[in-house]
A and B are shown apart, each in its own frame.
Chain A
Amino acid sequence: MLLYLVRRLLYVIPIGLAVSAICFSLVFLAPGDPLSAVLPADASLELIEKLKADYGFDRPIPVQFGKWVARAVQGDLGISIATGRPVNSELARAISNTFVLAFFACSFGFTLGLVLGFIAGYWNGTWLDKVVTSLAVAGVSVPHYWLGMVLVIIFSVFFNWLPATGMGAGGSSEWAWDWEHLQFVILPAVTLSVIPTAIITRTVRALVADILSREFVTALIAKGLSDRGVFWHVVKNAAPTALAVMGIQLGYLLGGSILVETVFAWPGTGFLLSVAIFQRDLPLLQGTILFLALFFVFLNLLVDMVQTLLDPRIRRT
């Protein structure tokens, strides 16, 4: 098992490099020559020369990639075309805001998903199960950016209970743990949690129903195992898979936050991406995507490791 963990850890290196290579190649996908893709429109001659040297556009592509990775490792992701500020400082603020949003979305979505999934699985086949299952299908089918709009229409336009967009009064983007700020996070967090909730519900439902239908559980119940005992048994057996799915969903949630953050003008990584697209700010796009993808890679690593530790029966090669 230790060996597997080490190997899994080492596997991150080639995957990380390949992910970086894809992000790097985005510059070449863009129409026009790569230099103009990373150059602010009003760049001084001095800056042009510096960027030329930094990126090494006159050098062979592998050298360019090497330089790019070397700079990325040191935290230099280039200069945002839109703002003229370094990409990493733009990114740093956005990341913390996205994590605030993700924290609320996950707490809400994972809890709801676990509860609904358990209910549907435990009362498998009843009307309750059917209702929950239909809700879950609706949850994975709904365009969440549209759901966000509908929530805004209901809670902001009609009832005027919650603010429609932004992260704080007066366009502030500083987070604080009070109702002033909390009210801003509710709608985007609920919107963002819909897909993970639906997927976790489906997964947990299937897990619970499967565990309860196994013969040894029937035997345990026949022997007079208490409801609490059965519950504990199900939790123990379902936990590794459920945890893995939740981990992966956290990653998808961060990736999917671009649409929701755009709807709610939440100043996180997703909003940054949409600004980058709108302004054709390629360094910003590249940097943000690189960060989110690498985060996803590490999340996958973490999930695999935790799952291996929790459930050593899973033998991997």
Chain B
Amino acid sequence: MTLLTVSGLRKHFPLKKDLLGRGGGTVHAVDGITFDVAQGETLGVVGESGCGKSTMARLLLRLIEPDEGLIRLEGRAVGTQMPLTEARGKMQMVFQDSFASLNPRLTVEDSIAFGPIVHGLPRAQARERARSLLARVGLEPLRFAGRYPHELSGGQRQRVNIARALALRPKIVILDEAVSALDKSIEAQVLNLLLDLKVEFGLTYVFISHDLNVVRYMSDRVIVMYLGKIAEAGPAESVFGDTRHPYTRALFSAMPSMDPDRRTQQPPLIGDPPNPIDPPPGCRFKGRCAHAEDICGRGDITLTSAGAEHRVACLMTQPGSGHSSAPGKAA
């Protein structure tokens, strides 16, 4: 069952012009993204920093107003058919910076209870819920409820943030690089906690990360983003096992692997990620792509099916696209 549908989500940030009218331009942070998330699954979102992952996360919660696009939660359009407050109760987020995402002047318990109180739960009950959630994320309430964020370790704080996100009993939790700042050993513990919680509370995750190993471990399906657009999307085993887009392949080749057979033949990514300010038409990856041809600069390239549920935005996979490596029409 589809829980969340995102269609044509777009956000451009205009840049200020200087006195002589120079500069200006527009940052295409998120540029027409469409996907959906099924009840109970984990959707992984990967991409280099600056590709628009975090902007997308904030757009989903309407922390930033989108320029265009529609978000449907449980089939109802957020903002029109479903009030924003209700949507924000059903969708919650865990941020990367565990310290910055907790108010330093509130105790852990008060931070967790804040959301439920805003939604009208009586104070005592909200505290009760906060303490039971603390226990659930592995922090002994008697010891931790009255503490301040600076008295906790990074891993403990992130557990608090998870508890805070769960306090509103959401359907869906957006994890924006939620474990990226943690030590590897702590990271594993928190990931396993997330998996447990998902089962226990029947959650759905949108798991945003730049760490491919972690995404692979967590996700049922994966979206690969490049400069505000989706480059490749599909079931995790298909995207990781049968990688089609040259960008995804380059990204994966940069990923350290313990398996010598998987050592790459692909060239690693060269150059910096291109500027998201006023990108040229056509494929956004063409400047760094080993297979780029003239045709790649013409017109928009759409996500096209390349096997069951596996979609790719690359002319090389599209029969009859005009690219020399494209499969034949008959294929």
Contact = CB atoms under 8 A, between A and B. Distances in A.
Contacts of A3: 18-20
Nearest to B16: A317
A6 B20 CA distance: 11
A7 interface: yes
The prevalent SS among residues of B at the interface is: loop
Interface residues on A, range: under 10
A7 B19 CA distance: 8
Contacts of A10: 19
Interface residues of B, number: 3
A10 B19 CA distance: 11
Contacts of B18: 3
Nearest to B18: A3
A6 B18 CA distance: 12
Contacts of B19: 3, 6-7, 10
Contacts of B20: 3
Interface string A1-24: 001001100100000000000000
B19 to A, nearest CB: 6
Interface string B4-28: 0000000000000011100000000
Interface string A49-74: 00000000000000000000000000
Nearest to B20: A3
A3 B20 CA distance: 9
B288 to A, nearest CB: 29
Contacts of A7: 19
A8 B249 CA distance: 50
Interface in B16-57: 18-20
A316 to B, nearest CB: 12
B272 to A, nearest CB: 21
A10 B18 CA distance: 14
B242 to A, nearest CB: 48
A250 B19 CA distance: 31
A175 to B, nearest CB: 44
Nearest to B22: A3
A10 B20 CA distance: 13
Contacts of A6: 19
A6 B19 CA distance: 10
Interface in A89-103: none
A274 to B, nearest CB: 43
A7 B17 CA distance: 13
A249 to B, nearest CB: 31
B261 to A, nearest CB: 45
A193 B326 CA distance: 80
A157 to B, nearest CB: 56
A212 B18 CA distance: 38
B14 to A, nearest CB: 16
A251 B253 CA distance: 62
6 contacts: A3-B18, A3-B19, A3-B20, A6-B19, A7-B19, A10-B19
Which 6 pairs, one residue from A and one from B, show the smallest C-beta to C-beta distance? A7-B19, A3-B19, A3-B18, A3-B20, A6-B19, A10-B19
